[in-house]
Amino acid sequence: MDQKILVFAFPGTGKTFATQNFENTCDFESLYYIFDYNKDVLHWHIDKHKGRDDIRVKSPDFPQNYINAIKKELEKGRIVITPFMINNLIALEEADFDSETRIIVVTHDENDYETIATRFRNRGNAEDFVELCREWLPQINKRVKELQNIEVVVLSDEKFLTEALVDLGIPLIQGVGVDNYDKKNNGS
């Protein structure tokens, strides 16, 4: 793949599904760059970490650690799919990605939030995370319109990330992709 592809996808769009089904993708979780976690909870499933300020503190290295790690992953030729939350939006605004990097933001229609909230609850997210996403979605959607050189896709409640990527002409190769959930292996 000549072009580097970086996808910022709001939670609930299907990042995990894409990585589980397409080998040229990387599910690039940002939590381990934004926060330093209590070692006693690192074995928990990733969704149990979301929205839990009682088990983490803000990392002094964010956002540069996150930006640098994304750049390293892009060099491997994978489609990097990372969550699109307020912290990551701030990192995106500060980043200096080269002109060969195609940046795509995939977000939800705010009117479909109850469907998305149900997805969060069904996968075990804390209620604080569900409400935080409800609060952040309109803010993110407003700010993303101001960004330059970014493609924006707003999903309806029945459409998912992989469909949006196919619609954008991004080649997806069947197989299992990679994730960076293991903090010991992601260079942090």
Mean pLDDT throughout 79-107?
A: 89
29 against 40, higher pLDDT: 29
pTM of the model: 0.84
Of 40, 35, 30, nearest to 52 (Cα)? 35
Size of the chain in residues: 188
CA atoms within 13 A on the CB side of 163: 10
Assess contact for 10 and 137: CB atoms under 8 A.
yes
Q: Which domain holds residue 139?
A: 4-185
Q: How confident is the model at residue 115 (pLDDT cuts 50, 70, 90)?
A: confident
Domain containing residue 85: CATH number: 3.40.50.300
76 against 123, higher pLDDT: 76
Q: Find the range with the poorest average confidence among 61-65, 69-73, 134-138, 184-188.
A: 184-188
The interaxial angle of helices 86-94 and 64-75, nearest 10 deg, is 70
Mean pLDDT throughout 150-161?
A: 87
Number of domains in the chain: 1
pLDDT score of 161:
94
The answer to whether residue 39 scores a pLDDT higher than 90 is no
Computed over every residue of the chain, the mean pLDDT equals 84
The answer to whether residue 188 scores a pLDDT higher than 50 is no
Lookup: tokens for 143: 């700010």
The answer to whether residue 159 scores a pLDDT higher than 50 is yes
Rg (CA), the chain: 15
